[in-house]
Amino acid sequence: MSKVKNAIELESAVIKFVGDSGDGMQLTGTLFADTCAYDGNDLTTFPDYPAEIRPPANTIDGVSGFQIHFGSKKILTFGEKLDVLVALNPASLKVNLKWTKKDTIIIVNIDEFTQQNLEKCKYDSNPLEDGTLKDMKIIKIPVNTIIKEKAAHLNLDNKALLRSKNMFMLGFVLHIFNKKTSYVENYLNKKFASKKDILELNKLILKVGYDYYNELPDVKDISFYIPSAKLEKGKYKNINGNIATAWGLMAAAERAKLKLFLGSYPITPATEILVELSHHKYLDVRVFQAEDEIAGICSAIGASFAGALGVTSTSGPGLSLKSEALGLAVMTELPLVVVDVQRGGPSTGLPTKSEQADLLQALYGRNGEAPLIVMAAESPADCFYSAYWAAKLSIEHMTPCILLTDGSLGNGSELFKIPDIYTLPDIKPPYADPNKPYYPYERNPETLARYWAIPGTENLRHRIGGLEKRNISGVVSTDPENHELMVKLRAEKVQRIANYIPEQEVFGEEQGDLLVVSWGSTKGVIRESVIEMQKEGKKVSHAHFKYIMPLPRNTEKIFSNFKKIIVCELNNGQFVAYLRATLPQFKYAQANKIQTLPFLISELKEKYYKLLEE
C-alpha cells in the first residue's frame, strides 16, 4: 500500500471490538486481523470472551471482545492500552474502559445506550454524557437507525437486519485505518454463498459503515495509516495457537511416518485442537472423541502401543483426570503427547481465562516417581514448532511429553511463516529389530530409550503394562534393587534429553546485572520489557524457557553470569519453585501475577528497577 494522503502514519495500533456475546465480535476481529495480514502488517490477536454461550443480553457477564495489535514493526504482545475501542453496547464499554488511555478513540453504537441497557449494566448515568470519557475522542453513531434506513428495501425483519451491526463497525474502522473492504467482501461471498439475502445485507452494511466515515465532519483528523511490516519473504497465515498445535502434531506424524491418533474430550480452551484435527481425515488423522478425559488419554496410549503417534489434548481439570494414565505411559515407556491448554484454576476455575498454573502438576502430578518431558510453547505460531518438537522427543526417547500452552496462546493468533515441513529436523522412531531376540526394556545405550515393537510384527510379541518390570527382560518384578534401578533409569532417560534439545538462548548480553527468566505465553511482553530496559542503558537480559523438563544443559552456566535473577510467571511461583529445587545455588526474585491477565510492561519494569536498586 502506498502512503495515504492526510493520514497519520503509525508504527502500530491496538484496536478492540467489544459487544454482546452473539454480536459477532470474534468474527469482526478476525476479519480485521486478516485484512491487516493481507496488507502485510505484523500482528497478534487476543479474543476475550465469556464462558457462557449467550448470557443475558447487554449485561456485564455477556461481554465478548477481540483485540488486535498490528503494526509495521515486529509485534510481540497482544497490546496493552487501546488506541481504538469499538463498543456495541454500554456493558462492553464499561468492562473495557480500564484498557483505555487519555487519547483512546471510542466508537459507540449510540442506539444501544438506552436507559434500559444502561440500567442492565448498572450505569447510574450515561457515561457518554456524564464526563466519564471527557478526555477521549468519542464517535457516536446511531448504527441501528442507519441500518434500518439503508436496508429497508431488503425483505428482512429488524432482528435479522441488526445482526449486521458488526459489519457496519468493521467497515467504519477499516476506513479509519485506510484499509480496503475487499478481503472482507471475499470472505462474505464465500461464507454466505447459499444465503443471498444475508450476503447482500452484510455487504451493503459493510459499505454503509465504510462510507459513513465521509458523512462525519469531525473525524477528518482521525485517519491513520500503518505501513507494511518488514517481514521476511515468504508465505504467511494468521494462525491461532490451537490450530498451530494441531498442525505441528500432523507435521510430526508425517515426518515420523506414523499415523496420528488423537483421543480427546471437549474442554475449554483446548477443544479447538480436537475440532481441527477431526477435519483432516484425508491425511489419515484418526480422531476419537472419547467418553471422558481418561478414555482420551488411554485410547492415545493404546494407539501408541499399536504403533501410532498417540496424542491427547486437554486443559487443567482434564490433566488432573489423566494423571493415573500418564503414570502408565511413563511405566510402559511409549510415545505420548499431552497438550494442556492451561486455564485459570483450580477446579473449574476460570475456563475462558488464561493462567500458567499447571506447571507443577505437569512436572509432578502423578503417583510414584514419574518423570516426563515438559515443554511450553511461547507464542501462537510457536505452538506449531513446540508441538512438532514435543512429538519428536516423545517418539525418539520413548517417553510421554506434556506440552503446556494456555488460553491466550490457544485462542490468540499471530502471523505464521509457512515452513516446508521437510526442512524440520528428522524424526526417527526407535523401532525394535525383528531379527533379534526382543527384550521390552532393553535400551539404547545413549538415549536409554527402549525399543518400540509394534503389534502385528513377527517375532516381537511381548507384554508390557503398569506393573514394575525387570530391567531388560520386562518380566513383572517386585525385586527391591531392580525397582530402584528402573526408577533411576526412567529419570536418567528424561535428563539425557538435554543432550538432544537446543541450548538455552539469552536475549541480550551473556552477562549482566539482571537476568529475566520466563516461560510460556509471556515471552512477547517480557521481551518488550527487557528491550525497554536495555534501551534505558540497563544490563538486563532475557532467558525464555521452552524446555522445562529437562532444562537445557547450559542453564546453570547462563544463570551464573548474572548478579540477579528474576522469574516472571502468571501464577504464584511455580517455575521459580522448580528452579529453586533444581538449581538451588542461585537466588531467585519473583514477579507474579494471578489475575488471568497478561503482564504489563510498566509493572514488570517497576519490579526490575526495584530489584536493581536493592
Q: State which of positions 297-316 bind another protein (CB under 8 A).
A: 298-308, 310
Instruction: Answer whether 178's CB lies under 8 Å from 225's CB.
Output: yes
Which amino acid, residue 514? L
Q: Which among 340, 272, 265 is positioned nearest to 49, based on CA atoms?
A: 272
Which of residues 62 and 327 has its CB atom nearest to another protein in the complex?
327
Residue 425 contacts another protein per CB under 8 A: no
Instruction: Answer whether 328's CB lies under 8 Å from 400's CB.
Output: no
Instruction: Choose which of 137, 180, 207, 259 interacts with another protein (CB under 8 A).
Output: 259
Site for another protein, residues 23 to 42, rule: CB under 8 A? 34, 37-38, 40
Q: For residue 490, give every residue at least 6 positions away whose Cβ sits within 8 Å of its Cβ, in sequence order, or none.
A: 330, 333, 369, 370, 371, 399
Instruction: Choose which of 5, 153, 196, 233 interacts with another protein (CB under 8 A).
Output: 233
Phi (first) and psi of residue 335, to 5 degrees: -65, 140
Site for another protein, residues 539 to 558, rule: CB under 8 A? none
Minimum distance of another protein from residue 60's CB (angstroms):
34
Which of residues 228 and 561 has its CB atom nearest to another protein in the complex?
228
Residue 426 contacts another protein per CB under 8 A: no
Report the distance separating Cα 504 and Cα 477, nearest Å: 39
Residue 370 contacts another protein per CB under 8 A: no
Which of residues 93 and 331 has its CB atom nearest to another protein in the complex?
331
Rg of the Cα atoms in the chain:
26
Site for another protein, residues 438 to 457, rule: CB under 8 A? 453, 455-457
Using alpha carbons only, give the angle 229, 230, 232 rounded to the nearest 5 degrees: 120
Residue 581 contacts another protein per CB under 8 A: no
Phi (first) and psi of residue 435, to 5 degrees: -95, 5
Q: Which stretch binds another protein (CB under 8 A): 69-77, 368-376, 458-466, 495-503?
A: 458-466
Instruction: Choose which of 19, 263, 335, 520 interacts with another protein (CB under 8 A).
Output: 263
Q: Which stretch binds another protein (CB under 8 A): 230-238, 397-405, 539-547, 592-600?
A: 230-238
Core vs surface per residue 418-454: b (16+ CB within 10 A) or e = eeeeeebeebebbebeeeeebbbbbbeeebbbbbbbe
Which of residues 58 and 399 has its CB atom nearest to another protein in the complex?
399
Which of residues 113 and 384 has its CB atom nearest to another protein in the complex?
384
Report the distance separating Cα 332 and Cα 268, nearest Å: 29
Residue 395 contacts another protein per CB under 8 A: no
Which of residues 128 and 287 has its CB atom nearest to another protein in the complex?
287
Q: Which stretch binds another protein (CB under 8 A): 98-106, 115-123, 284-292, 558-566?
A: 284-292
Minimum distance of another protein from residue 10's CB (angstroms):
20
Using alpha carbons only, give the angle 43, 46, 51 rounded to the nearest 5 degrees: 165
Strands (E), 56-119: 63-71, 84-87, 105-109
Q: Which stretch binds another protein (CB under 8 A): 63-71, 278-286, 394-402, 497-505?
A: 278-286
Which of residues 264 and 399 has its CB atom nearest to another protein in the complex?
264
**CA 285 to each of CA 253, 423, 463: distance values in angstroms, whole numbers, following the listed order:** 9, 22, 27
Site for another protein, residues 403 to 422, rule: CB under 8 A? 415, 418-422
Instruction: Choose which of 74, 207, 286, 580 interacts with another protein (CB under 8 A).
Output: 286
Instruction: Answer whether 344's CB lies under 8 Å from 374's CB.
Output: no
Instruction: Choose which of 3, 159, 196, 235 interacts with another protein (CB under 8 A).
Output: 235
Residue 368 contacts another protein per CB under 8 A: no
Residue 427 contacts another protein per CB under 8 A: no
Residue 294 contacts another protein per CB under 8 A: yes
Site for another protein, residues 314 to 333, rule: CB under 8 A? 324-325, 327-328, 332
Residues touching another protein: how many (CB under 8 A)? Answer: 71
Instruction: Choose which of 58, 92, 238, 242 interacts with another protein (CB under 8 A).
Output: 238
Mind giving me the DSSP string for 127-148? TTTSSTTTTSEEEEE-HHHHHH
Instruction: Choose which of 1, 152, 216, 283 interacts with another protein (CB under 8 A).
Output: 283
Q: Which stretch binds another protein (CB under 8 A): 134-142, 291-299, 491-499, 586-594?
A: 291-299
Q: Which among 449, 348, 363 is positioned nearest to 401, based on CA atoms?
A: 363
Residue 595 contacts another protein per CB under 8 A: no
Residue 465 contacts another protein per CB under 8 A: yes
260 in helix, strand or coil? Answer: strand
583 in helix, strand or coil? Answer: coil
Which amino acid, residue 403? L
In the 8-state DSSP scheme, what is residue 104? -
Q: Give how far the C-alpha of residue 45 lies from the chain's centroid of Cα atoms, to the nearest Å.
A: 10
Instruction: Answer whether 567's CB lies under 8 Å from 575's CB.
Output: yes
- Residues belonging to the chain: 614
Place of cell 510414584: 368
